[in-house]
Amino acid sequence: MNGDQKPIGVAVLGLGNVGSEVVRIIDESATDLAARIGAPLQLRGIGVRRVSADRGVPVELLTDNIEELVSRDDVDIVVELMGPVEPARKAILTALEQGKSVVTANKALMSVSTGELAQAAEAAHVDLYFEAAVAGAIPVIRPLTQSLAGDTVTRVAGIVNGTTNYILSAMDSTGADYGDALAEASALGYAEADPTADVEGYDAAAKAAILASIAFHTRVTADDVYREGITKVTAADFASARALGCTIKLLAICERLTSDDGHQSVSARVYPALVPLTHPLAAVNGAFNAVVVEAEAAGRLMFYGQGAGGAPTASAVMGDVVMAARNRVQGGRGPRESKYAKLPISPIGDIPTRYYVSMRVADRPGVLAAVATEFGNRSVSIAEVRQEGIDDGGEPRGARLVVVTHKATDAALSETVKALASLDVVQSVDSVIRMEGTSE
Ligand code: NDP
Ligand code: HSE
């Protein structure tokens, strides 16, 4: 390294779980980072809400004036780790407009404001990197934008939320119901005080939007993603899933679809799904994440690791910081946003999937025929039926009937469920869950 190389000034916004780890790595790995970049990184300031001497960093680095910090002449790279959308969006826009490169882990922001931020980065000829916004430490944005840039990605599917994967894994391994598994996840610090964003699938939907956008060169926002959470999944669903050789995972699925007349579109969706135990995603347990990418020439690739946590997320952030710093030293910039394909988004009603339908029925002759007729009337083909007696003391005595279908559209299945619910032999339709990872 040239010892006279001008330092690269860094401003870190946020000193929480991720920000404090980023600041630690910049300090502890200074010599190695300088060698890899070709210039030293110099921390110019840290943006926080609460400026005080007890925060484990020199107090003179702290400021609550974010706009002033990101506008400083000696700042080259702004690392945004505050979340959620505001004030992060405003700070990033200011930084980009002033010619700073930006690194962020903010999936909420990157799933709604990508166009505006990408255009600002483009206008200023600077980098906007966000590897940490999806699946924490796991490299998936850079493989999609760079390593697979010459291939055609057809599908990206994964487990991208650690909190819900922890809860579902606990339900599977212990037989616990949803409420007990959530309480355990909260007690162990996996689930936040307000777990809504995780358990209702909003966090995974934000990540699905980001993945679909870069995989298919099309602008996809969180509002384009069909979303269901995990709050209605029961212990009985897990027992039935086991009997069918499956487990249940919250999946984010992004697909390139080609219609019979050759028109292409994009589907992005998040929902709990039955996944065969033989599928690689079925083995991803606890708070871990995994993303499976399918591309025409590469075939199937799988990325696995820690999707959250201060240090793992900081690893992805620092990878981006090093790339942005190298680009500044060499006087260039990384790949720009690619949204040329502009594919339309397919509504969920058009996406055929297999379904698992669990209902409580009267335990008497003719029930199976009545239920099967309703599926047949709407051209929903049945692949498998299981019946279990229920001895819960309820009267009249009932049975649990589980029907697994071949592929059907959401519209046909919804009509079938409505019809089933009005049959007098069906006491309740308890669960309707999609099935993924099987060939039919
Ligand atoms: P934390 O809540 O732990 O930290 C947020 C930090 O931002 C705090 O230091 C806070 O200051 C500061 N901050 C918040 N609002 C403001 C504001 N208005 N002005 C100044 N400072 C502000 O968040 P995390 O570190 O967990 O997450 C940071 C980002 O990384 C988020 O976008 C998150 O979605 C993303 N992310 C997080 C992961 C994780 O595992 N934690 C994984 C992947 C992405 P103060 O300390 O003074 O309150
Ligand atoms: N709440 C998120 C999760 C954090 O549970 O995966 C990482 O984005």
What is the model's pLDDT at position 397?
A: 73
Lowest-confidence region among 76-90, 225-239, 379-393: 379-393
Residue 249 Cβ inside 6 Å of ligand 1? The answer reads no
Residue 83 Cβ inside 6 Å of ligand 1? The answer reads yes
Residues 17-49 have pLDDT tens digits of 999 999 999 999 999 999 999 999 999 999 999
To the question of whether residue 309 is assigned a binding role by annotation, the answer is yes
| Ligand 2 centroid from CA 265, angstroms | 28
- Computed over every residue of the chain, the mean pLDDT equals 95
| CATH dotted code for 141-306 | 3.30.360.10
| Ligand 2 centroid from CA 203, angstroms | 7
Residues 252-308 have pLDDT tens digits of 999 999 999 999 999 999 999 999 999 999 999 999 999 999 999 999 999 999 999
To the question of whether residue 219 is assigned a binding role by annotation, the answer is no
Ligand nearest to the CA of 204: 2
What's domain 349-435's superfamily in CATH?
ACT domain (3.30.70.260)
Residues 333-356 have pLDDT tens digits of 988 889 999 999 999 988 999 999
What is the model's pLDDT at position 82?
A: 97
pTM above 0.85, yes or no: yes
Of 396, 274, 333, which is closest to residue 101 (Cα–Cα)? 333
- If one residue of 81, 138, 160 were mutated to test the ligand 1 pocket, choosing by the most ligand atoms within 8 A of its CB, it would be 81
What is the model's pLDDT at position 396?
A: 66
Lowest-confidence region among 235-239, 388-392, 401-405, 430-434: 388-392
What is the model's pLDDT at position 113?
A: 81
Of 203, 268, 274, which is closest to residue 437 (Cα–Cα)? 274
CA 278, CA 360: separation in Å to the nearest integer? 29
- Whose C-alpha lies nearest to ligand 1, atom 38? 308
> Which sequence spans correspond to the domains of the chain?
8-136+310-330, 141-306, 349-435
Which H/E stretch holds residue 103? Answer: strand 101-104
CA 376, CA 416: separation in Å to the nearest integer? 9
CA 198, CA 191: separation in Å to the nearest integer? 8
Residue 66 Cβ inside 6 Å of ligand 1? The answer reads yes
| CATH dotted code for 8-136+310-330 | 3.40.50.720
Interval 61-85 mean pLDDT: 97
Q: Catalytic residue positions? A: 207
C-alpha pair distances (Å), 313 with each of 43, 203, 310, 318, 411: 19, 15, 5, 9, 39
Residues 139-151 have pLDDT tens digits of 999 999 999 999 9
CA 204, CA 221: separation in Å to the nearest integer? 12
What is the model's pLDDT at position 393?
A: 65
Residue 195 Cβ inside 6 Å of ligand 2? The answer reads no
Domains 141-306 and 349-435 share a fold: no
Residues 377-426 have pLDDT tens digits of 999 999 999 998 776 666 667 899 999 999 999 999 999 999 999 999 99
Ligand nearest to the CA of 137: 1
